């Protein structure tokens, strides 16, 4: 079965083609991506209306490219999958509208996918896919959650952020250090030249005894520190900015690491999956790898280029849901998107 996947929830247009049989891990045949980062950079963040318009421009050329790369024709596609939510409503509507139009024109069914389930299952696209059950640390721009995952569509949330997400903490801290958008990669690059112990920043909820997170206070502490540093922050002869970046990253990484270890301990599971954009962070990977190696825990990540948004994870999630029999395709072509959509709403009732 050939599944075309379309991602358009935020600032990347992604399209992919996955082949799936009744058993075995589905295989990625081709994928293509257009990032809108350059377009939004001038505004310091994502402008939803511009995002939607750009998805409209990109989605069909990317689809042609994917089909050409895979050496397949559009008529061979069996199911058209798209990101149904969560995300920006207008942006989601583009992918959903195109998927439903393609489905109706080809007389093929469609399937709406949860964006976070796409991230969660993206390590199955790697050469070393995980096995169920596992603990998942889902760290994206809008979400920070620890989950127990027992199978496709069987997600128990163990803890989550009560305010900002980890990606937001990276992005907002980077913005107030003048590092632009998206801040995570820029902040982590600069952090490589700084001293992570230079500034004492809070580790929110580190000892709360539960698996919840809070990052809003950290951003305030970074702002206070940046104000204290004043001109020094932008003095090319000073390491202050790199030190602040390194200290911020160290605070975020320590909280994510300790809470992930606590989740592994409380569930007794020996496998950890890290997914979402922040999962691309080198320091987080290094620290998780070192700590998990000591505990005999296997850590799985998506391939680096599939950590952030892409179409491959959407086609893959659709393939795995169909294979597991937890969702049926639809010929209703009613593209009702869900800008807000909790992941555990997918669980069977």
Q: Which of 7, 117, 164, 171 binds ligand KG4 (CB under 6 A)?
A: 171
Q: Is 117 in the site for Zn ion (CB under 5 A)?
A: no
Q: Is 153 in the site for ligand KG4 (CB under 6 A)?
A: no
Distance (Å, rounded) from C-alpha 11 to C-alpha 54? 9
Q: Which range binds Zn ion by CB under 5 A, 175-183, 192-200, 220-228, 309-317? A: 309-317
Q: Which of 63, 122, 140, 281 binds Zn ion (CB under 5 A)?
A: 140
Q: Which range binds Zn ion by CB under 5 A, 132-140, 237-245, 255-263, 328-336? A: 132-140
Q: Is 309 in the site for Zn ion (CB under 5 A)?
A: yes
Distance (Å, rounded) from C-alpha 152 to C-alpha 124? 11
Tokens representing residue 55 in the block: 């998805």
The residues in 115-134 that bind ligand KG4, with binding defined as CB under 6 A, are: 119
Q: Are 117 and 322 in contact (CB under 8 A)?
A: no
Tokens representing residue 47 in the block: 């402008």
- Of 57, 50, 101, 111, the residue nearest 80 (C-alpha): 111
Q: Is 140 in the site for ligand KG4 (CB under 6 A)?
A: yes
- The least CB distance from residue 104 to ligand KG4, in Å, is 28
Q: Are 312 and 70 in contact (CB under 8 A)?
A: no
Distance (Å, rounded) from C-alpha 136 to C-alpha 297? 13
- The least CB distance from residue 313 to Zn ion, in Å, is 8
- The least CB distance from residue 256 to ligand KG4, in Å, is 10
Collapsed DSSP state (helix, strand, coil) of residue 198? coil
- CA gyration radius for the chain? 20
Binding site for ligand KG4 (CB under 6 A): 10, 119, 140-142, 167, 170-171, 182-185, 188, 276-278, 280-281, 308-309
Binding site for Zn ion (CB under 5 A): 140, 309
């Amino acid at each position: 079965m050939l599944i075309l996947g379309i991602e358009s929830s935020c600032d990347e247009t992604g399209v992919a083609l996955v082949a799936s049989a009744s058993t075995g891990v589905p295989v990625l045949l081709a994928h293509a991506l257009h990032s809108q980062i350059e377009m939004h950079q001038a505004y310091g963040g994502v402008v939803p209306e511009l995002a939607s318009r750009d998805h409209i421009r990109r989605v069909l050329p990317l689809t042609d490219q994917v089909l050409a790369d895979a050496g397949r024709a559009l008529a061979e596609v069996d199911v058209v999958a798209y990101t149904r939510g969560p995300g920006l409503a207008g942006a989601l509507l583009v992918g959903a509208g195109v998927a439903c139009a393609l489905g109706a024109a080809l007389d093929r069914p469609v399937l709406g996918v949860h964006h976070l389930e796409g991230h969660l299952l993206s390590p199955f696209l790697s050469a070393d896919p995980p096995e169920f059950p596992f603990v998942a640390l889902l760290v994206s721009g809008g979400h920070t959650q620890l989950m127990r995952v027992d199978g496709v569509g069987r997600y128990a949330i163990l803890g989550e952020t009560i305010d900002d997400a980890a990606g937001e903490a990276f992005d907002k801290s980077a913005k107030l250090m003048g590092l632009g958008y998206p801040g995570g990669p820029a902040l982590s690059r600069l952090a490589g030249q700084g001293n992570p112990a230079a500034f004492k920043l809070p580790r929110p909820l580190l000892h709360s005894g539960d698996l919840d997170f809070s990052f809003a206070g950290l951003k305030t502490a970074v702002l206070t520190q940046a104000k204290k540093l004043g001109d020094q922050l932008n003095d090319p002869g000073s390491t202050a900015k790199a030190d602040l970046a390194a200290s911020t990253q160290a605070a975020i990484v320590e909280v994510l690491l300790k809470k992930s270890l606590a989740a592994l301990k409380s569930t007794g599971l020996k496998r950890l999956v890290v997914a979402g954009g922040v999962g691309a962070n080198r320091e987080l990977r290094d620290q998780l790898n070192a700590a998990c190696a000591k505990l005999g825990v296997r850590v799985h990540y998506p391939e680096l280029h599939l950590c952030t948004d892409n179409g491959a994870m959407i086609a893959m999630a659709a393939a795995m849901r169909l294979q597991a029999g937890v969702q049926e395709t639809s010929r209703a072509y009613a593209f009702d998107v869900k800008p807000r959509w909790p992941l555990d709403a997918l669980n069977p009732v």
